[in-house]
Amino acid sequence: MSIDEEVEVLRKIPLFANIEPAKLKLMCFASQRMTFKSGQTLCGQGDAGDSAFIILEGEADVVIENDGPLVVAQFGKNDIIGEIAILCDVPRTASVIATTELTALEITKDLFFRMVTDFPEMGVEVMRVLAHRLEHTTALLLAARHGAK
């Protein structure tokens, strides 16, 4: 996939939809393109959160360790993962494991914050994504609580 193709993928992600293509091209150039095999870990629970990943192709499970592995979410093409650790400056809250061959752009913490600073609308989209995830997690917790009664 060329940088121009990566830019086109990013433009389809709400987080980057309003950012001019030239800036997205710079972000792609400054990011590291990574490929993972099925079963390979992108990042591990407890690791330092120094980057986020944008999935260009493939799928991954988000897994937490709790008396054994528990899949809490699944992500695929155009999803961003790992942003919580860089936003909150905390260790990774879960592991991310490729379930298919996966290609992603790794965006460093510094680059991510530069983009959010330069494009405040990107910060709003990050909040929207995180709020949606929180809503989903809350619904799962309520369902689990009602199932346990």
What CATH number is given to the structural domain containing 33? Answer: 2.60.120.10
63 is in which domain, residue-wise? Answer: 3-148
Which H or E run contains 30?
helix 21-30
The residue type of 56 is L
Per-residue pLDDT for 41 more than 90?
yes
Q: How does residue 85 score in pLDDT terms, banded at 50, 70 and 90?
A: confident
Please state the separation of Cα 37 from the chain's center in Å: 17
Number of domains in the chain: 1
Other CB atoms within 10 Å distance of the CB of residue 111: 17
The pLDDT of residue 83: 79
53, 96 Cβ separation under 8 angstroms:
yes
Per-residue pLDDT for 15 more than 80?
no
Does the predicted TM-score (pTM) go above 0.85? no
